[in-house]
Structure 1
């Protein structure tokens, strides 16, 4: 809600009155008020509707040196009746009935209301603004100042005189409160505060330059009301190269420094860097880039109650915009707001040590899962039973020896081992069945060969940690280098989340923890999904095998956006720029470009490493095949010994 500060300045118009203070809320009944033709003028209605279109109520504040209650009452009645009947907005009134050197009232901040000041002269208003730094009435950058200045002297000011008359007030309002919409109605040529030929409109554009000084006082006539309203609504469309403080630092993958001799050393790419460049071009401002002096990146609230990092830069006015994507969350009630819509979404993941490689000799047992083995066994048993059924149907006698012979025959067909006795298949049904078994055997043997080759040629690992429950059972302490991620497990009361929350530790050395996870395997770390890909590629073993693993189950995720001070004058246009970038698909495009650039860089490094050191297969890579061969030979030897023993006994019995 845009708040409008409406100031009426009455110079040499009010006389002295007593020293009291009061607060009242004025309600106007259904009677027709005696509103003068000046206030009821059509152009005045257009101007007030232009400024007060978002207000739910108006607060009147009178600050005068010599007060006449009759005059205040008349003005209050006229303005109240006008706003109630013509604009349909209720009014609350504060007024100070004493010398305007001290101010005892404090107007509460409320983004639902607009504010109307009535004061005797410019100096009284400036003095009030100076004293207000102690009284702390929270005027914000989204407030608007509408000033009506009436002076009984019918003297005419030249354009340069307006700069002298109002320049100081304009500069105070802009530099102290960053308030953009400031308008003064100057009526020194008329006895009434609104006159078509005797009223001048004075505005201020803080972005235009007069010589070497920023800020230009501009003069309009009453007939230019529509132009004035339009220009005041579009002041931020063109900042005319105005310098704006920007906090941005290297944060992969969204803010990546561009290293090029043709470009500024402080240029950035990625989503954040490109968004900053487009916003600077679209709004025509000059970004004054700096990094947090305390060397804390994203920032947080310390135990002493102060803010550090980029959040501190925004809270304490060191920067106007933080162009690093921040998590959209509550930063301990910091006076900040986020650019909307969010730029991107990123999940929080946990990096853990990669599981150990399975020994080569165990590859054979990893070829098929238990379900697949049971399926093959069941299919084999059904085939044997079906063969026995056919034999019985054809009238053959089935005993234990015949059953074993059939089972061995089916097994040979499944393994594509040459079989004898196919000429004995006199039945057409037997031939079809045997043909089917031979075809199935070819498929099974081919699948086994492909699986064996795949298992032998690629590394196999023990099961990784892929759920938060498994992470809790592992007992690994969890580290993070960002204060804002310490509470990632605190959003749930489940026993697993509570246990994980107790294991989170704050560490300053982010890359040192990743090294420890990769090599010592005694820690876990919190990171984002976008950064996880970088770490997985960075930490690899001698054979390019990964040393880190990202847990598939994520504890939570955040939308990310840019940070500005609360009630920033630039936030509305930044919202528009970012929404256009998102809707046009440029944000996704920049994010994808950065991903592929990193992938190509990693691939280039790997190519160079492969050229420098070619890898050849060794006997160690084929040890599984030799284990299988040794097992087969051993079984064959055992079977041969058993056959010799059986044959020896049979011969001995015959003798």
Structure 2
């Protein structure tokens, strides 16, 4: 009997243990299943997701992989319920693997189809994680999919599900680090974190948001308060609450003039500064103005590296570039603010045409046809008067020609009053009236030539500029492609070069040495002409014309708000007013700097010896010829 009991015990104990273990696992599984069902029936997550994803047209769900049956079952049931509640296309991703969730009523979604939706909060992301550390590491990796497609315009919801079978405890500080990751790496603002506790805590869930601008910390909210939170990134950027926004701004004429009245009182003047100041006022941020770290000014691209303020934008060291820039392809991850205020022409500054010599200026007072007619009238008059005088007196032809010249020059001749022949009197009277009119016109033209110097024709076309052979210098490397799009301007493109020199040095070279020309904007060119009057000229034909605007990093969370405010400033006429005010101030400054060379035609001109050098030259030639004739007369007397 005892042996029979041993046999029964040996056979029954393993079965008993097996059944006990199965019952234990089944009870745990049933308990976990109940916890999952309780979570799916919990209204907290669904109310938050409906509010947060209300404007979404597509949802990307990212699930962290975990070899756990409870986790996989919970996530699978959650995805099914998500599709039923939201009724929008869902893309399911596990880390780097991309796949479409195979729901019965869900059609395959392609990336091209997804990108048809506009980026203004139409694409939302749900991150489902099993620990706060896993969420932090996932957001830290910005090179994987879909992290590299995250933008500040989308809505984000992080769901962290904690269970005793996989959660080993953690720190709440990790949630704040995750929020900071999203802000510093992706500029994401509209994000909510929900922590769901399954069988490890008395409470059911926590809802957390982050105040990026005021307290810079994690804030716990209740489900009732979620409806009062900003529903998009645009609402969050409406009031930045004094947040420090990094701005790069350079001294640039005529829109950003840096002035220092004392060592501690330095500020900018001009339209760019007024725009920045008003943006800071209405968005309620504190601008922190800095210069490019490398000192390369506006910046440019060298191979794969960006420099200057352009590099600060690309590498997101600043939030706004407050200097106007041409809207063109810089091959960089930047955006332009809208609307563009106006267009700016690119022009070429060349040396002013040389002054016409006095003798040539006087000869050009009348046309060649007039000079021929005047000579013909003089010859006919000389011959006719010679014939009439020979009838009554003996006179040589040379003497008669000199007397006729004196009459045409309205000189006083004593013998004219002694002429008795009526025919000669009529001839002399008509000649005197003719010469009076001609000499008055000649003297007035001569006075106008002296008072208003005349110059040779200026270079007004790119074709004439090409014929000069002058090198074209620009101070902005981004303008080296100005002449590239036209085959007719190939010679100009070959002569275009960049130099790291100051504006004043280059302008002095153009004005004084006349051996170069400068490519710049028309606004700056007009300012330069005021500093160097009658020495520089702007070629009328413009090679390019760009819209101008400001630069911000690609995907900036402030973009839409800035676009809105700039549009209001432009429509209200404020931008035009600031331009006019800056132009007036700079014109006064240009007049002060260029008054030594400025020739003001509105006031009386003080003549100098240079203005009458031709007259003195004629007098000297006349005295020299008279002296020679006098000596010849004395020798042959």
The normalised TM-score by structure 2 is 0.69
| Counterpart position of 1:499 | 491
- Per-residue Cα deviation, 1:79-122 (whole angstroms, up to 9, x for no partner): 224333xxxx32222236xxxxxx66699897644333222232
SS at match of 2:460: coil
1:337 corresponds, among 326, 330, 335, to 335
Question: Aligned partners of 2:48 and 2:59: how far apart in 1?
Answer: 20
SS at match of 1:297: coil
Gaps of 5+ in 2: 1-30, 35-39, 101-110, 118-122, 165-169, 378-406, 411-416, 423-432, 599-603, 624-637
- Per-residue Cα deviation, 1:404-434 (whole angstroms, up to 9, x for no partner): xxxxxxxx99x9xxxx9xxx9xxxxxxxxxx
Task: Tell me whether 595-604 or 256-265 shows the greater mean CA deviation.
Answer: 256-265
SS at match of 1:334: coil
Offset at residue 552 of structure 1 (A):
0.9
Question: Aligned partners of 2:437 and 2:159: how far apart in 1?
Answer: 93
Equivalent residues of 2:461, 2:539 under 8 A apart:
yes
Offset at residue 13 of structure 1 (A):
6.8
Offset at residue 584 of structure 1 (A):
1.9
SS at match of 2:53: helix
Task: Tell me whether 256-265 or 564-573 shows the greater mean CA deviation.
Answer: 256-265
SS at match of 2:585: helix
| Counterpart position of 2:477 | 483
| Counterpart position of 1:32 | none
Equivalent residues of 2:45, 2:194 under 8 A apart:
no
Question: Aligned partners of 1:445 and 1:187: how far apart in 2?
Answer: 106
Counterpart mapping for 1:138-537 below 5 A: 138=148, 139-149=150-160, 164=173, 166-185=175-194, 188=197, 201-209=207-215, 214-222=216-224, 224-225=226-227, 227-229=228-230, 233-261=234-262, 264-265=265-266, 267-303=267-303, 305-331=304-330, 333-368=331-366, 450-494=444-488, 497-511=489-503, 512-537=505-530
Q: 1:620 to 1:229 in 2, by over 3 A?
A: closer
SS at match of 1:313: helix
Counterpart mapping for 1:128-139 below 5 A: 128-133=138-143, 137-138=147-148, 139=150
| Counterpart position of 1:617 | 607
Equivalent residues of 1:361, 1:627 under 8 A apart:
no
Equivalent residues of 1:536, 1:548 under 8 A apart:
yes
Offset at residue 337 of structure 1 (A):
0.8
Question: Aligned partners of 2:472 and 2:174: how far apart in 1?
Answer: 63
Equivalent residues of 1:480, 1:525 under 8 A apart:
yes
Q: 1:476 to 1:369 in 2, by over 3 A?
A: farther
SS at match of 2:213: strand
| Counterpart position of 2:544 | 556
Task: Tell me whether 251-260 or 163-172 shows the greater mean CA deviation.
Answer: 163-172
Offset at residue 577 of structure 1 (A):
2.2
Q: 1:617 to 1:114 in 2, by over 3 A?
A: same
SS at match of 1:82: helix
| Counterpart position of 2:5 | none
Do structure 1's residue 75 and structure 2's residue 84 form an aligned pair? no
Bigger Cα Rg? 2
Q: 1:582 to 1:369 in 2, by over 3 A?
A: farther
Equivalent residues of 1:489, 1:555 under 8 A apart:
yes
| Counterpart position of 1:648 | none
2:535 corresponds, among 538, 547, 561, to 547
Question: Aligned partners of 2:321 and 2:247: how far apart in 1?
Answer: 6
SS at match of 2:62: strand
SS at match of 1:278: helix
Offset at residue 163 of structure 1 (A):
7.0
Q: 1:289 to 1:443 in 2, by over 3 A?
A: farther
- Per-residue Cα deviation, 1:564-606 (whole angstroms, up to 9, x for no partner): 1110111112212222222222222222222211221233456
Equivalent residues of 2:325, 2:551 under 8 A apart:
yes
| Counterpart position of 1:573 | 561
Question: Aligned partners of 2:590 and 2:172: how far apart in 1?
Answer: 60
Task: Tell me whether 228-237 or 516-525 shows the greater mean CA deviation.
Answer: 228-237
Question: Aligned partners of 1:455 and 1:148: how far apart in 2?
Answer: 86
Question: Aligned partners of 2:93 and 2:436: how far apart in 1?
Answer: 96
Q: 1:119 to 1:162 in 2, by over 3 A?
A: closer
Counterpart mapping for 1:58-69 below 5 A: 58-65=59-66, 66-67=68-69, 69=72
| Count of paired positions | 517
| Counterpart position of 1:117 | 127
Offset at residue 260 of structure 1 (A):
2.2
Do structure 1's residue 48 and structure 2's residue 61 form an aligned pair? no
Q: 1:455 to 1:560 in 2, by over 3 A?
A: same
Equivalent residues of 2:527, 2:590 under 8 A apart:
no
Offset at residue 231 of structure 1 (A):
7.7
Equivalent residues of 2:128, 2:161 under 8 A apart:
no
Q: How well do the aligned residues superpose, as a CA RMSD in angstroms?
A: 4.7
Question: Aligned partners of 1:261 and 1:147: how far apart in 2?
Answer: 52
Offset at residue 498 of structure 1 (A):
1.0
The normalised TM-score by structure 1 is 0.67
Q: 1:464 to 1:14 in 2, by over 3 A?
A: farther
- Per-residue Cα deviation, 1:206-234 (whole angstroms, up to 9, x for no partner): 0012xxxx335252433651x22458542
Task: Tell me whether 229-238 or 504-513 shows the greater mean CA deviation.
Answer: 229-238
SS at match of 1:488: coil
Task: Tell me whether 142-151 or 270-279 shows the greater mean CA deviation.
Answer: 142-151
Gaps of 5+ in 1: 1-11, 16-34, 97-102, 154-160, 192-196, 382-411, 425-437, 540-544, 634-655
Question: Aligned partners of 1:272 and 1:516: how far apart in 2?
Answer: 30
Offset at residue 464 of structure 1 (A):
0.9
SS at match of 2:245: strand
Offset at residue 264 of structure 1 (A):
3.8
Question: Aligned partners of 1:607 and 1:130: how far apart in 2?
Answer: 61
Question: Aligned partners of 1:366 and 1:94: how far apart in 2?
Answer: 84
Offset at residue 357 of structure 1 (A):
0.8
Q: 1:321 to 1:143 in 2, by over 3 A?
A: same
